[in-house]
Amino acid sequence: MGHSNWAEWIYVAVVIALLVYVGAEAWNIENLIEHTPEDAEIIKVTAQQWFWSFEHEDGTKEVGELHLKKDHAYKFEIRSIDVNHNFNIPEYVVLLDAIPGRINTVWFSPNQAGEFDIQCREYCGLIHYNMRAKLIVEDV
């Protein structure tokens, strides 16, 4: 059946353009938030049933609390020594799995002083609900 199909071609072009736009935007932001600044301090995060422990670059260790400085960049190296956990700071949209045998990394820069929650976001056993820690951001 003969018919004009210019409208179909416009439709296809618009769909392709939208998909490219969505993909490019998402890729751009993904790159931006994954690219760690050079001067980021490395914090080793260890998850285990049912608490968090942290080790700073200078060897200082903390359990259940993490003290950071405002407007500094931090790169978390997250690992688990028992089951799967998930390291989450809701206020700063930090969310990454802690998997036994792997080190996952994520970076962020706190831009607000105060106390914030750190929690486990992957069901990890009986006391998962209370696997929490405090993030204390100091205005230095």
Partner 1 sequence: MVKILHLSIIMATLFLIPTVSLAFAAESAGEYIDRKAEIWNLFFRLMVVAFVVGGVIAGTMVWQVWRFRESNPKAKPTPYEEKGEL
Minimum separation from the CB atom of position 101 to partner 1 (A): 27
CA distance 13 to 19: 10
Exposed e or buried b for every residue in 54-83, given b needs 16+ CB within 10 A?
bebeeeeebeeebebeeeeebbbebbbeeb
Q: Which two tokens stand for residue 104?
A: 């996952």
Judged by CB under 8 A, the stretch of 2-10, 46-54, 55-63, 80-88 that binds partner 1 is 2-10
**Interacting stretch for partner 1, rule CB under 8 A, among 61-69, 79-87, 106-114, 122-130?**
106-114
Question: Does the protein bind partner 1 through residue 81 (CB under 8 A)?
Answer: no
Indicate whether 126 belongs to the interface with partner 1 (CB under 8 A): no
Q: How far apart are alpha carbons 4 and 24 in whole angstroms?
A: 32
For residue 59, how far is the Cα from the chain centroid? 23
115 binds partner 1 (CB under 8 A): no
Least distance in angstroms from the C-beta of 139 to partner 1: 16
Site for partner 1 (CB under 8 A): which residue of 10, 63, 103, 127? 10
